[in-house]
Structure 1
Amino acid sequence: MQETIHHYDDLLRMLDSFLREPAPFWDEFFSDREKSVPIFVNAPDENLASYLKSGIITCGRVLELGCGPGRNAIYLAENGFEVDAVDVSKTSLDWAKERADERNLSINFFHRNIFDFEIEDGKYDFIYDSGCFHHIAPHRRISYINLIERALRPEGYFGITCFHQGGSLGGSAISDWEVYRKGSLMGGLGYTEGRLTDVFHTLKPIEIRKMIDQNESENLFGASDLLTGLFQKGIK
């Protein structure tokens, strides 16, 4: 490969090469379904369930970014949403498809890097991300935000669950510049309420809070070391 930068995309790919290659890592991560990983539980995020229960989020077309084994995509499909779910790991998508088939659910799963996923403008009423954004390198953050703004319809909603800075599950407090000095996201970048509001400043914040811990009997996933946010796109 020629190491020459002609275009902005060449610059992004160069910066990508300094950090972990995502697909092989995540295929390995999801290969052992029996290991003790909190997000392997087959239950939706408690904050996602609260959005539906309160009536803020109603049935429509939804996109899940980094769907993993499909627990949130499945929950949304069970509640009447038309669901597109994308992930870079084929291993996780195979698991998600098995879970969906067990429930006879129709979900459109896509094996893609989210930055290579073609999306028509204003297609989605709701976009949800549980655990993808904190693994996005700083140089890809602008592309991520542009994706959200382009794909959401006016007055559509964006929900996110990510590492809280300094949390026990992850949440590195290093600066954006330090990511490149170290050549690592240090397991995932941590966010605070203020930082999350600043990153998504073009969207209207509806709710930003820590996740609420859940026990197994509630059939929901919740861990207070994670931060949740719900935002709304305005009308231009």
Structure 2
Amino acid sequence: MNPAVSRWNDRFSATDDYVFGTQPNQFMVRHAGTYIQPGMRVLAVADGEGRNGVWLAEQGFDVWSVDAAPAASEKARRLAQERGVQLRVETADMSKWDWAAEPFDAVIGIFFQFANPKLRAELFEGMKRAVKPGGVLMIEGYGLKQLEYKTGGPDIPEHLYTLDLMKSSFDDMDILLLEEYDSDLNEGAGHRGISALVDLIARKR
């Protein structure tokens, strides 16, 4: 296990509570019904303890929930069992994931900002490959203003998102939504308080 994954695994295993809560991300909830339909195959990238993957499964999606930390995957399975839903939970390093192995109707990545610029570019390209033509990507992350708020996320500017970064990274897709705004998050102990967010939804041509 590489050191970065080990740190996250320790964080998830240090408590029986869910570090980022058990409620789904509100950006995803707000837009899922508009851009994806129940029955579609969805990949939840770096899904952590499963709050988003489990919610998607509750809505009738065919979900793959993937995270590199074994402790996170264990919690995702537990949450799915408690909620009475089925989803595929896989422990895998997304930097080594075979993005072309399965076609997905949607790929969703929420706050996977452990990635430095090089790895982030690789993940973005991989996520594009994993989406079927006509399928969508949904990504939410922290913007640079988050360095002032300090209510979650990394304190490394290069790991944060800007509108220009997202435009240039996904200029080969049809960008359906791209916005930057502040919002009050309440996602467990890990994300709580006023936060600077950047949201992207893009469709593969």
Q: Return the TM-score normalized by structure 1.
A: 0.73
Aligned residue number for residue 160 of structure 1: 139
Matches within 5 A, 1:23-42: 23-33=5-15, 37=19, 40-42=20-22
Q: Deviations over 1:55-109 (max 9, x none)?
A: 2221200001100010000110000100001101001111111000111211101
Aligned residue number for residue 233 of structure 1: 204
Aligned residue number for residue 112 of structure 1: 92
Give 2:142's aligned amino acid: F
CA contact (8 A) 2:107 2:138 kept: yes
Q: Deviations over 1:95-148 (max 9, x none)?
A: 11100011121110111101222244661000000111x221222234213312
Give 1:28's aligned amino acid: D
Q: 1:31 to 1:171 in 2, by over 3 A?
A: closer
Q: 1:103 to 1:202 in 2, by over 3 A?
A: same
Aligned residue number for residue 138 of structure 1: 117
Q: Deviations over 1:196-221 (max 9, x none)?
A: 211222222111223643569xxxx9
Unpaired segments ≥5 residues, structure 2 = none
Aligned with 2:32: secondary structure? helix
> Within 2, Cα distance between the matches of 1:165 and 1:171?
10
Aligned with 1:161: secondary structure? strand
Structure with greater strand share of residues = 2
Unpaired segments ≥5 residues, structure 1 = 1-19, 176-188
Aligned residue number for residue 123 of structure 1: 103
CA contact (8 A) 1:165 1:173 kept: no
Q: In angstroms, what is the RMSD of aligned CA positions? A: 2.5
Q: Which has the larger radius of gyration?
A: 1
Aligned residue number for residue 14 of structure 1: none
1:49 aligns with 2:29: yes
> Within 2, Cα distance between the matches of 1:101 and 1:223?
32
Q: Aligned residues, how many?
A: 194
| Identical-pair percentage | 23
> Within 1, Cα distance between the matches of 2:171 and 2:96?
24
Q: Return the TM-score normalized by structure 2.
A: 0.83
